[in-house]
Amino acid sequence: MQRVLVIGSGGAGKSTFARRLAAFTRLPLYHLDRLFWHPNWTRTPEDTWQGVVQSLIATDRWIMDGNYGGTSSPRMRRADTIIWIDYSRFTCFRRAFWRGLSQFGRTREHDMAPGCAERLDPGFLSWVWNYNKRERPMLKRILRELPAGKRILIFHSDDHAARWLLRVHHDYLNRDPYPAAPTIRLALPRDAHDLARIHVEGWQSAYRHIFPPEAFALRTIESREAEWSELLESPPEEQRVYVSEVGGEVAGFAYTRPGLDTDLERPGELKLMIRV
């Protein structure tokens, strides 16, 4: 389970579920609502949005929550696990209405973009009320037509979802209850892909709330891998790149190079990035 898509009606609790799953698995988490919307509920242009989603799903590890039908097909094809929070219309409508009422005028900190204050939107509430009638049959058909090998989980209650999350938590604890001490070594050309993946995923995780969505489309693992390959094949004389391995897997990297300060005799810089 490395690429997980969480789908379902508004008000079902997708974002909360995704946050808990990310905490247990340590997979990078992307709330599509937070990336799609801009202050005052301004939409991301369609062509830009397609590029943002493609750049995210091209990475090796992620949890993504949200529907956005225009990008559902590539996300479902790329995901290895699809989780459908399939609750009743009454549950979803009640939660969506209460969320809008109780948080009216405030921005949801975790899963909504800054400047998008919560509101009671009749159009959104209507969509939630009619989701099971209009969207559910189509979604069932799409899921049936996906290639074999996908892991598809459907939860009909909070209790059902919570029991599964607990099993995931125990599974990850049992898999690595006492993490091995990391080893540190000089980076080799064969490490280029791992460094690129950590570099891109770390940048996306750290700065997705700061940079505009179109910036994500410009930074891909492929382009970073080419840059790292070139650097590691012929490293500058005064620059060193180190990797940290845990259990034989590259978990982070650091590199040193001359600094730019002019008030020191021999300034230096240390940059560090770990797997998210």
Residue 103 is encoded by which pair of tokens? 């948080």
- CATH number of residue 211's parent domain: 3.40.630.30
Residue with tokens 């009749």: 122
Name the domain boundary from 175, 209, 229. 175
Q: How many domains does one find in the chain? A: 2
The verdict on 16 and 151 lying in the same domain is yes
CA 75 from chain centre, in angstroms, equals 12
pLDDT score, position 152: 92
Query: Which of 175, 194, 223 is the C-terminal boundary of a domain?
Result: 175
Is 160 found in the same domain as 75? yes
92-114: per-residue pLDDT in tens? Answer: 999 999 988 888 888 777 777 77
- At which of 130, 145, 175 does a domain end? 175
Same domain, 195 and 134: no
71 and 203 both lie in a single domain? no
Q: Which residues of the chain have pLDDT under 50?
A: none
pLDDT of residue 273: 65
Q: For position 153, what pLDDT does the model report? A: 94
Beta strands of 130-267 (E only): which ranges?
Answer: 151-155, 183-186, 240-246, 249-258
pLDDT score recorded for residue 206: 75
Q: Model's pTM, two decimal places?
A: 0.67
Q: Do 201 and 92 share a structural domain?
A: no
Q: How buried is 125 (Cβ within 10 angstroms: 0-12 exposed, 13-18 middle, 19+ buried)?
A: middle
For residue 132, CA distances in Å to 32, 55, 73, 138 come to: 21, 30, 19, 10
The answer to whether the CB of 155 falls within 8 A of the CB of 88 is: no
d(CA 85, CA 16): 11
Reference 53, options 79, 32, 38; nearest CA is 32
What per-residue confidence (pLDDT) applies to 214? 67
- Residue 63 sits in the same domain as residue 190: no
Q: What is the CATH number of the domain that holds 140?
A: 3.40.50.300
Query: What is the model's pLDDT at position 240?
Result: 85
Which of the 8 DSSP states describes residue 265? Answer: S
Same domain, 128 and 205: no
The parent domain of residue 146 ranges over 3-175
**pLDDT tens digits, one per residue of 214-226:** 676 677 888 889 8
Q: CB neighbours of 32 closer than 8 A, spacing ≥ 6?
A: 53, 64, 65, 66, 67, 68
Q: Do 51 and 146 fall into the same domain?
A: yes
- Looking at the fold, whether 70 and 193 belong to one and the same domain comes out as no
Q: Are residues 138 and 239 in the same domain?
A: no
Q: Are 155 and 240 part of one and the same domain?
A: no
Do 62 and 26 reside in the same domain of the chain? yes
